[in-house]
Structure 1
Amino acid sequence: MADEFIKGFTILTTSMLGWMVIAGWYNTPGFEEAQLSAAAPENLQMLDQFALTFKSGLLWFALLGTLTFWVFIPAGRELRKAMATE
């Protein structure tokens, strides 16, 4: 169980770190203004649009990866144990 926990925690921390870095670049208009939650700038170039798409992908990877290792894999193992004892 500790192995699944650390894998999920690693996915969560590294993905959210990447998400925060990209959000800091593109979604923070100024130091005194909204942090990480402002609207994305308009008239973006192709690489900027790719970065914002990658930011969304990192968020979903963090959520689904963490759920996979913390919920789905342990639940599957418990289900397999319960089915084997019957």
Structure 2
Amino acid sequence: MADEFMKGLAIATASGLIWMVLAGWYNTPGFEDTQLLGADPADPSALEAIALIVKEGLFWFMILGAVTFWIVLPAAREARARLAN
């Protein structure tokens, strides 16, 4: 169980950190404006578009990875153990 917890924590920490960096670069219009949750740039270049796609992918990887290792896998293991008995 500790192994699954650490995998979920590592996924949430690493992808969350990279998501925060990318969101800080592309979604923070100013210090006193909305930070990390502002609108995407209106006309991104090719590299900015790739970075925005990576940012969205990392967000969902952070959420789904943690849920998978903290909820889905332990629940599946518990269900398999109960069905075996």
User: What is the TM-score of this pair, normalised by structure 1?
Assistant: 0.95
CA positional deviation for 1:43: 1.4
Q: 1:1-86 counterparts in 2 under 5 A?
A: 1-85=1-85
User: How far 1:30 sits from its partner (Å)?
Assistant: 1.2
Q: Residues of 2 paired with 1:74 and 1:38: CA distance? A: 36
Query: Aligned partners of 1:40 and 1:77: how far apart in 2?
Result: 40
Task: Tell me by how many angstroms 1:31 deviates.
Answer: 1.6
Seq. identity, %:
55
Alignment RMSD (CA, Å): 0.7
What displacement does 1:34 show? 1.3
Aligned residues: 85
Structure 2 residues without counterparts, runs of 5 or longer: none
Where do 5+ consecutive residues of structure 1 fail to align?
A: none
Q: Give structure 1 regions of 4+ aligned residues with deviation exceeding 4 angstroms.
A: none
Normalised to the residue count of structure 2, the TM-score between the two structures is 0.96
